[in-house]
Structure 1
Amino acid sequence: MQTKILTHALALALTALAVAPALAATDTAQARAEAHLARFAAQTFHGPDHRYSVRDVVIDADGTEHVRLDRQYKGLRVIGGDVVVHSHGSGSFLGVSQTLQRGIDVSATPVYGSAAAQAVAQGRVAGDARGSAPELVVYARGDRARLAWDTRVFGTRPDGTPIEAHVIVSARTGKVLDSWDDVHDAAAAGTGNSFFSGSVPLTTDLVSGTYSLRDPSRGNMYTLNMKNRTSGGSIFTDADNTWGNGTTGDTATIGVDAQYGTAVTWDYYKNVHGRNGIANNGVGAYNRVHYSRKYNNAFWSDSCFCMTYGDGDGTTFNPFDSLDVAGHEMTHGVTSRTANLTYSGESGGLNEATSDIFGTLVEFYANNASDAGDYLIGEKLYKAGGGKALRYMHSPNSDGASADCWYSTLGSLDVHYSSGVANHFFYLLAEGSAPASGPASPTCVAGNTKKATGNASLSGIGRDKAGAIWYRALTVYMTSSTNYAGARTASLNAATDLYGAGSAEWNAVAAAWSAVLVN
């Protein structure tokens, strides 16, 4: 016993020694970033009333540092004040990525009270809503900063989807300035015998002779059976570590799909992008399946750090936890932990597109013969099959609502439809306009913005390079209010970092954006 204790202590000491340099490098990068914010105030819009907290730190192999910080002004959280400071390891300042367009100069004393703001917020959200106490904030997503109330409103939509809305109300006039929902839905819709992906391997947990659908090797991520309720739930357990029978007659079958999708998504982010879990902290998210009754949707929630899947109505829709939907929902969590793209306007469309992009890349990464990779989102959800899908990345307007091309009022669309422009861009970047295998993708011409009708010839750079560019753009350059023009800049910066300015990859990014009218 004494030997074991000493061995354990030695292992802990060695781990601490290994972690210490990484923590020291992060602390140094943070200190350097905060010094640059003050030194280059004309570019960073820093002032004496500004304070910062670190959200994320990315240090490249060559020592280049990218420190993402959230901003406070006079002790108030600044929505849209997030900033990424880019520095060379030697200490030189390389620039910033941010939403702010000018300095902040607002009174911290509200004219419009919190109770009135809460009433406005609750009246804005449909369903049986209840609100938390409003938080006084600085709202800086627009052309100038304004004092505002951020009220969290909770409730349930008519289709059963939970509401976790933010309603931003001016603290001067009582006008609603913005709103969005932290529940990001899919817009519609051992050995495991899954419904969608066939027989799949699972890593489970054995406790006191009983297996549970929990994966200790991937941050202890697990899956709950909601038993058609909307709260509570219990973890799936099994006696022989063989789960499900491939049909919906066994409730564990859908649990297998969710757990498998979560594992593949974890592996994709770790093995392809070096990301250790959704929050990059080694902690696994969890799944809730059999949510409500005949629920035609799936969603990610930041508050529970979890994915939730409905069973579908059984007539039009299957259960909503196919592989690409699992990758889509988990990616909402990645986005919230990095660029935190606000779920409204063009940034909301980019948020949804990011989930479609990486949901697709997860499907290709899985290389599962039962659910082969493609650029259709949720095609397995439809009982009739026949190529019908929730979204079509090569031709977004094939769903009758999404936009193929950018236009000036695109941000007024539902975020699931404004996402079409980025989805179209990504397909053109990865596959080109006329790939040898896969559908052709028409390019855009001015005047035909909903439906692409052009025939410009673009060559793709492949999914791996396109995915690397989008991941770096998301995690290093995009901020909460990035719009499509900002996404073009962010992805060109990412292509420069990875492949060089003026490289074939950089030129392909520029050409693909131009092909969807983002110039």
Structure 2
Amino acid sequence: MKIQFFLGALLGFVLISTISGQQLFEDRSFNDTRWLQIPEGAKVNQIQFFDEYAQRLGLTPDSEMKWLRTTNDQQNGIHYHYQQYYKNVKVYGAKYILHEENQYVEAANGIISPNLNLDIRPQITAADALQIAKEDMQARVYTWENKKNSESIPIPELVIINTDYPLWSGQMKLAYIFELRATNPHSFKKYIVDAVDGGIILSFNTLMSCFGEKGTAHTLYHGDQEIDTELENGEFLLKDLSRGNGIQTRSITGKIYSDSDNDWEKGTNDQKNGALDMFWGCQKTYDFYKSKFNRNSIDGKDIKISAILLDTSPYNNAYWDDKLYTINFGIGDNVTYKPFTAIDVVGHELTHGVTQFSAGLEYLYESGAMNESFSDIFGKSVEYYYDRPQFDWLIGGKVTVAANSALRSMEDPNRFGNPKYYKGASWFKGTADNGGVHYNSGVLNYWFYLLCEGKSGKNEAKIDFNVQRLGFDTTIQLAYHMLTDYLTPTSTYVDARTASLQIAANWWGSCSDAYKQVAEAWKAVGLGGTTESADVQILNNKTSLTSCKDGLYQFEVRLINLSCSNTYALNTPIELSYQVAPKGAIVKETYILTEDFKPGQDLKYTFTTPVLLTKPSTTFYVTVELSNDVDTSNNHFTVAIAKSSANSAIEHDILLSRINVSGSPCPNNINVYRGSGQAVYNGCSIIPINTAMELRLNYKDTTVVIPFKTTKSTYPGGQVPIPGFDIPRTFLGLKKANGVLVYANDTVTKNNIANFQVVFLEYTKKDEIEMFNNFRFDSSKITLNIDSFNTVQIINKPMRTGFTLNCTGGNIINSNNFFIPALNDDLSNFIRNNIKFSSTIYLCADIKGLVNPKLEYNMSQQLSGTDYESFGMKDPSFAASTRIIYRNITGGAIFTEVINNASVVPAEWRHKIHSIPAETYAIEITNLCLKGSVDSTTGEINPDGDLIIMDDLVITADAVGVVDFDEVDFNILPNPNHGHFVVHLNQPNQKSSELQVYNAMGNRVAIIPINKDVQEVKLSSQLPSGQYIILYNSQNGKSIRKKLIIL
């Protein structure tokens, strides 16, 4: 297969498609599984995945998913790529990718052909299929007939393929697939021949066209450049053995380019024909993929790069050969084109090889257009990084003879007849050029340009857009991981948009600024709206895809508000429907919102009208409709439901999805530490009221059994009523535990487990100093949770401060040379998004009776000196930072503050004092450190990493009064108020006293003299609304506190 720049004239009249606003339209095939979000708490790893989801994916016992490769991204995510087989026959184009984080699959995407059932015995031979294709192609000379070529006769591969390939809306058939390559006339063509009746299902052109020693190359296009050559037999060769398995350039005649002094001069025929540019471009493209993505050559395994200059006759093209793995460059005709060896062209062609060994985007229609675009994107990126003075956004601008001409423009695709708007006025809709692969590449090209440079204006639909610049460094990473980790051979533009937003959400957060810019760029090219626009997604929410024994099945869907700002108000109608695909009767239902449907929220809806299945398997099309939804591609899914057999395994299946723990770890008599469970019944028979079940809480060294009986009948698809339960205080410290739901009739027990964490502590009282002496701390009053990329040790340094608690980080660069931490300009969000680099200290604060209680400690926040700004961090001090959360009696957060006074070694040792808000019971101190390591000899934390050191943790106060909260010595009326109230004293013998007003931080904001039993008080109007504490100090030294609410 070859990839060329497209050089033909524009094909005259282009039909203008009608676009309704910015709505997206997508093939209905397999939408439920094309992009699959795994429910939180499912805990399925990549080994278990296809067994757990076989039914949902339609994988029959004769289907098999075979592993292809594994890739990693810069956030330490792992992506497993699989190919579907049926009875050991490849299902062509059916590839599926599992996205794993923290050892569990969180999402999956791709194509799986469900519920296959066909005969795999061919009725014609491979030789018959080859002859049928040759009669259709009618070439005079094939490549294997030319003695100069080493190619052999193609061997057709038996596959299963969809008759509408690369779409999936047709029938699945057994077929032979192979490529015919001819030299006279010059043509490469892929054929798909029906293995039963010999009919040609599809044929299409596969000529993907672009349309040791240090030496100096005086290149044709890029000035003087340093090159690495090899010295052999006294001659320097355009050959490089320092990169992978080598880079070799030669003429089509077999000539090896050589020079006597390694100064490759201007004016030679080889220089004029572009041989030097070709060689230098190969080296720089290799360097680009290695330095930016840690990719070793085209295939990631250091395959040899072979570049051939077609210099025997004028040839206006360049192409990648996917069988011989060579790149081939014409020397032009010097009338319209010069040699096709400019660096963007070289990078373009080599990227076709990268695409072949990653996403494998088929060279047809939208997938082919994206294949071309990714080559444009990375071809121009190579030029940007290695010849920035001459960089522009023109594709092939240096190889055209005419001034101000080029093959394509990424900055303005319309300039050369390419679309920059999806299915807009310039969108190519015919079958020529393999469905417009060189034309329709303009959409993704323009999207990439917008993110690199930023731009505002109106798009073709007259819709305003404003894309803020992300820059080359960020955008190439996004594009590369779309190509290598998410896209599959038949991916469409809608898939590319979904992939990019999925990556952006994983890396930066779903409503982060970067995420918004990615969405805004897609809006600009006609795909979807912004994150501020209305956008609701519908997903299948039911694990079981099998009906009950009588054939009844109820659909349950989940709706997600993907907008970052749009709220659907209370009482908004939502129209839902399902039908037997493709044209069965439609069942419609209307759900009226019972509360506001806010950004980021999701809700579940169960159809009241059940399905009655009569066939072994039935495919349904499920939709949702809301007003103003800008992205309709995610408003439907297709799902196949199987009719249950009499002995179905799911007849009594209960899924325990999670255990929630709420309350405070501190001992108190007001609020107990409580737990609750969430479970759904996926079975078919009704579970009657008073059915006995039990919840087993398994700690490391003990099990607590909580028996209960159901309080109502549980119907298929309903929630199992697990009552709330107390978490017994049988230990002190932190324990990780799991809960197991036990039901005697449960037929699937492996989904009955959910994990949780429990902390129990005693109070730390005033002036009890934790000094971490003797390498320990009081574990009854303080405990630690250490995450995966963090190390905590108590270290004794007598010459410094003695025993201290030391926290450091881990690796910040993964095996693919990507920066692991997620970037965010807000410190609170930065800590929350990178919690795996942190450890948290838990303690309970006994502040009852304390006046102006404070949390005090000594701290040093030290930076490693890493150049974090080169990774995009605007504030390197974030790399060693602290967050403190104060929680009330129920465990709710009262106040959060962050501290980052980090400096490079030697860091300053500081004494920190924080006012503890009133109503505080528990305190959590989270220390985040990015880079760190442990000395392999001593086993101690290396002192040169990002490091936080703490010592002398203590709770203090200004003074201690005698406080009796049950005695009421004064009243405040009204309360709440607006800062204007009356104080009623219940001690008439007091001649004078005063009130002190404290805010929630414990800071005194007012002192009010009191000299009569009933006194009016007016506080400053500058005090903000909120909760305050009024402290009454009487003449006899008695202190009493009351809560004041200012509206």
One of 154, 159, 184 as aligned partner of 2:208: 184
Aligned length: 461
Provide the residue aligned with 1:280 in structure 2: 300
Q: Which has the larger helix fraction?
A: 1
8 Å contact 2:274–2:340 — kept in the other structure?
no
1:388 aligns with 2:400: no
Instruction: Report the Cα offset of residue 221 of structure 1.
Output: 3.3
- Say if 1:252 and 1:398 are closer, same or farther in 2 by CA, change over 3 A: closer
> Alignment partner of 2:79: what SS?
strand
Work out the CA distance in 2 between the residues paired with 1:234 and 1:47. Answer: 55
Provide the residue aligned with 1:437 in structure 2: none
Letter in structure 2 aligned against 1:423:
N
> Alignment partner of 1:218: what SS?
coil
Provide the residue aligned with 2:523 in structure 1: 514
- Say if 1:411 and 1:352 are closer, same or farther in 2 by CA, change over 3 A: farther
Alpha-carbon displacement from aligned partner over 1:405-429 (angstroms, at most 9, x marks no partner) = 2229856432101111111222222
One of 109, 114, 118 as aligned partner of 1:102: 114
Provide the residue aligned with 1:20 in structure 2: none
- Say if 1:139 and 1:261 are closer, same or farther in 2 by CA, change over 3 A: same
TM-score (ref. length: structure 1): 0.82
- Say if 1:429 and 1:383 are closer, same or farther in 2 by CA, change over 3 A: same
Root-mean-square deviation (Å): 2.6
Alpha-carbon displacement from aligned partner over 1:280-305 (angstroms, at most 9, x marks no partner) = 11233110013441000000111121
One of 188, 196, 207 as aligned partner of 2:232: 207
Instruction: Report the Cα offset of residue 479 of structure 1.
Output: 0.4
One of 66, 70, 85 as aligned partner of 1:57: 70
- Say if 1:455 and 1:293 are closer, same or farther in 2 by CA, change over 3 A: farther
> Alignment partner of 1:416: what SS?
coil
Question: Which deviates more, 100-109 or 501-510?
Answer: 100-109
Work out the CA distance in 2 between the residues paired with 1:381 and 1:454. Answer: 36
Provide the residue aligned with 1:299 in structure 2: 319
One of 467, 471, 486 as aligned partner of 1:462: 471
Work out the CA distance in 1 between the residues paired with 2:115 and 2:475. Answer: 35
Work out the CA distance in 1 between the residues paired with 2:74 and 2:444. Answer: 29
Provide the residue aligned with 2:85 in structure 1: 72
8 Å contact 1:59–1:66 — kept in the other structure?
yes
Provide the residue aligned with 1:374 in structure 2: 392
Instruction: Report the Cα offset of residue 253 of structure 1.
Output: 6.2
> Alignment partner of 1:324: what SS?
helix
Alpha-carbon displacement from aligned partner over 1:348-382 (angstroms, at most 9, x marks no partner) = 0010001011111111011343xx22211000011
Provide the residue aligned with 1:316 in structure 2: 336
One of 510, 518, 522 as aligned partner of 1:501: 510
Alpha-carbon displacement from aligned partner over 1:382-435 (angstroms, at most 9, x marks no partner) = 1222x21100112212213x222222985643210111111122222222335x
Work out the CA distance in 1 between the residues paired with 2:76 and 2:445. Answer: 32
Instruction: Report the Cα offset of residue 212 of structure 1.
Output: 1.8
- Say if 1:203 and 1:456 are closer, same or farther in 2 by CA, change over 3 A: same
8 Å contact 2:189–2:204 — kept in the other structure?
yes
How do residues 10-29 of structure 1 correspond to structure 2 at under 5 angstroms?
A: none
Q: Which has the larger strand fraction?
A: 2
> Alignment partner of 1:374: what SS?
coil
Instruction: Report the Cα offset of residue 271 of structure 1.
Output: 1.0
One of 431, 440, 444 as aligned partner of 1:422: 444
Work out the CA distance in 2 between the residues paired with 1:240 and 1:116. Answer: 57
> Alignment partner of 1:511: what SS?
helix
Question: Percent identity of the aligned residues?
Answer: 31
**Higher relative CO (CA 8 A, sep ≥ 6), structure 1 or 2?**
1
Provide the residue aligned with 1:22 in structure 2: none
> Alignment partner of 1:430: what SS?
helix
Provide the residue aligned with 1:257 in structure 2: 277
Letter in structure 2 aligned against 1:267:
D
One of 26, 33, 37 as aligned partner of 2:46: 33
> Alignment partner of 2:332: what SS?
coil
Instruction: Report the Cα offset of residue 59 of structure 1.
Output: 3.1
8 Å contact 1:278–1:333 — kept in the other structure?
yes
Question: Which deviates more, 506-515 or 257-266?
Answer: 506-515
Work out the CA distance in 2 between the residues paired with 1:192 and 1:399. Answer: 32
Provide the residue aligned with 1:348 in structure 2: 368
- Say if 1:56 and 1:352 are closer, same or farther in 2 by CA, change over 3 A: same
> Alignment partner of 2:94: what SS?
coil
User: Structure 2: which 5+ residue stretches go unaligned?
Assistant: 1-43, 143-152, 529-1047
Alpha-carbon displacement from aligned partner over 1:247-297 (angstroms, at most 9, x marks no partner) = 463458622101111111111111111212111112331100134410000
Alpha-carbon displacement from aligned partner over 1:299-335 (angstroms, at most 9, x marks no partner) = 0111121110010001111100101001100100110
Work out the CA distance in 2 between the residues paired with 1:210 and 1:462. Answer: 43
One of 252, 255, 261 as aligned partner of 1:240: 261
Alpha-carbon displacement from aligned partner over 1:14-63 (angstroms, at most 9, x marks no partner) = xxxxxxxxxxxxxxxxx963532232213544333234444321134665
Work out the CA distance in 2 between the residues paired with 1:62 and 1:499. Answer: 10
Work out the CA distance in 2 between the residues paired with 1:84 and 1:147. Answer: 24
> Alignment partner of 1:513: what SS?
helix
Provide the residue aligned with 1:149 in structure 2: 176
1:198 aligns with 2:223: yes
8 Å contact 2:141–2:184 — kept in the other structure?
no
8 Å contact 2:355–2:371 — kept in the other structure?
yes
Question: Which deviates more, 207-216 or 305-314?
Answer: 207-216
Letter in structure 1 aligned against 2:112:
L
Letter in structure 2 aligned against 1:489:
T
Work out the CA distance in 2 between the residues paired with 1:115 and 1:253. Answer: 42
Work out the CA distance in 1 between the residues paired with 2:395 and 2:476. Answer: 16
User: Structure 1: which 5+ residue stretches go unaligned?
Assistant: 1-30, 435-440, 446-452
Instruction: Report the Cα offset of residue 489 of structure 1.
Output: 0.7
Work out the CA distance in 1 between the residues paired with 2:268 and 2:506. Answer: 47
Provide the residue aligned with 1:398 in structure 2: 415
Letter in structure 1 aligned against 2:189:
A
Instruction: Report the Cα offset of residue 76 of structure 1.
Output: 1.6
Instruction: Report the Cα offset of residue 477 of structure 1.
Output: 0.6
- Say if 1:252 and 1:234 are closer, same or farther in 2 by CA, change over 3 A: farther
Provide the residue aligned with 1:21 in structure 2: none
Structure possessing the higher radius of gyration over alpha carbons: 2
8 Å contact 2:237–2:259 — kept in the other structure?
yes
> Alignment partner of 1:265: what SS?
helix
8 Å contact 1:49–1:73 — kept in the other structure?
yes
Instruction: Report the Cα offset of residue 74 of structure 1.
Output: 1.5
> Alignment partner of 2:242: what SS?
helix
- Say if 1:101 and 1:505 are closer, same or farther in 2 by CA, change over 3 A: farther
> Alignment partner of 1:380: what SS?
coil
Work out the CA distance in 2 between the residues paired with 1:63 and 1:462. Answer: 22
Letter in structure 2 aligned against 1:431:
E
Alpha-carbon displacement from aligned partner over 1:331-352 (angstroms, at most 9, x marks no partner) = 0011001000000111000100
Work out the CA distance in 1 between the residues paired with 2:527 and 2:436. Answer: 19
- Say if 1:41 and 1:137 are closer, same or farther in 2 by CA, change over 3 A: same
8 Å contact 2:398–2:406 — kept in the other structure?
yes
> Alignment partner of 1:417: what SS?
coil
Instruction: Report the Cα offset of residue 116 of structure 1.
Output: 4.5
> Alignment partner of 1:105: what SS?
coil
How do residues 105-116 of structure 1 correspond to structure 2 at under 5 angstroms?
A: 105-111=117-123, 114-116=126-128
8 Å contact 1:299–1:309 — kept in the other structure?
yes
- Say if 1:212 and 1:129 are closer, same or farther in 2 by CA, change over 3 A: same
Provide the residue aligned with 1:19 in structure 2: none
1:168 aligns with 2:168: no
